[in-house]
Amino acid sequence: MPRIVRFHETGEADVLKLEEAPLVEPGAGEVRLKVKAIGLNRAEVLFRQGIYLEAPELPSRIGYEAAGVVDAVGADVQDIKVGDRVSTIPAFSMRQYGVYGESAVVPAFAAAPYPDTLSAEAAAAIWMPYMTAYGALIALGKLQPEQTVLITAASSSVGLAAIQIVKSVGALAVATTRGPDKKDFLREAGADHVIVTDEEDMAEQMKRIGTGKGANLVFDPVAGPFLEKLARAAAPGATIFEYGLLSGQPTPFPLIDALGKGLSVRGYVLFEIVQKPDLMAAGKQFVTAGLTSGALKPVIDRTFTLDEIVDAHRYMESNQQKGKIVVTV
């Protein structure tokens, strides 16, 4: 029997348990993968803790991103066959599906072939980062080459994907990091400018960057009181995309800057893109083209084995990573 990861109660990383389970046959519109690699995401930490957008039904599987080989297909599946190499797009509910383990069943629409040039580890690091950044910056933000984008928590896998996407369309990428230890890394990752927020005033720095009017788009998973600083660093008419709450604190609305500059502050989640077939198809095309051309290159920080899944989650919560954390199976 394959080993899968489940948790029987919400809590710290050690609630994750490796268990043997019967092999599940895919139903109509589903495919089953023999998993080779798993990509970790902050959403899974929140899901495990019981504070995600949806609550788990215990005992619960977990996980959005995996890469592997299709070993069974259900009825009504047209475009995927046994033997295909695919990775999973986070377009499903973790209450119903979860990919941590040696075997996983997912909806067929959430399984996408990946370029032959990518390893399974790299393929497990594609869809959450790139589709999240694509949805905000390209699909909704309509990013243009002459614009400036401010990317916070930029050393995360989503932040690095955002830098690459901004650069791929010829716009200016400004990354932020709290301390100086990640500054050189972010410059090497492609950021045109890096602001160390513990040492520098973002608004003042943005006056020296690009047009000097601030960021046209802001892509932020931190929120909390930090939003007020982002509003001061934004250009007139800018849109601030809030896609997380890493601060864990209440988020005051920056009314004065919003009124004075005509700012839009927008909550955003990936499901806005992947639950609309036309937007999801456009995103898949954009990301696949970028991966094929080399403009988009997944950045893997560190790999763990499936037996080390608890350690992998603890490492994610340490915030040390520079890129994607991947678990090999």
Q: Are strands 85-88 and 103-107 parallel, antiparallel or unpaired?
A: unpaired
The pLDDT value recorded for residue 86 is 97
In this prediction the pTM is: 0.94
Q: Residue 248 pLDDT more than 90?
A: no
* % of the chain residues with pLDDT over 90: 95
The pLDDT value recorded for residue 125 is 97
The pLDDT value recorded for residue 320 is 87
176-204 mean pLDDT:
95
Domain ranges of the chain: 3-126+298-328, 128-271
Q: Residue 157 pLDDT more than 90?
A: yes
pLDDT band of residue 245 (cuts 50, 70, 90) is confident
pLDDT band of residue 147 (cuts 50, 70, 90) is very high
Q: Which CATH class is domain 128-271?
A: alpha beta
Fold agreement (3-126+298-328, 128-271): no
Kindly list the distances between the CA atom of residue 324 and the CA atoms of 125, 257, 263, in Å, as whole numbers in the listed order.
6, 34, 32
* % of the chain residues with pLDDT over 70: 100
32-39 mean pLDDT:
98
294-313 mean pLDDT:
97
Provide CB contacts within 8 A for 218, sequence distance 6+.
149, 150, 152, 230, 233, 234, 238, 239, 240, 241
176-185 mean pLDDT:
93
pLDDT in tens, 249-283: 999 999 999 999 999 999 999 999 999 999 999 99
| Mean pLDDT, all residues of the chain | 96
225-247 mean pLDDT:
96
User: CATH 1.20.120.450: does it fit domain 3-126+298-328?
Assistant: no
d(CA 66, CA 327): 9
227-235 mean pLDDT:
98
- Which is higher by pLDDT, 244 or 235? 235
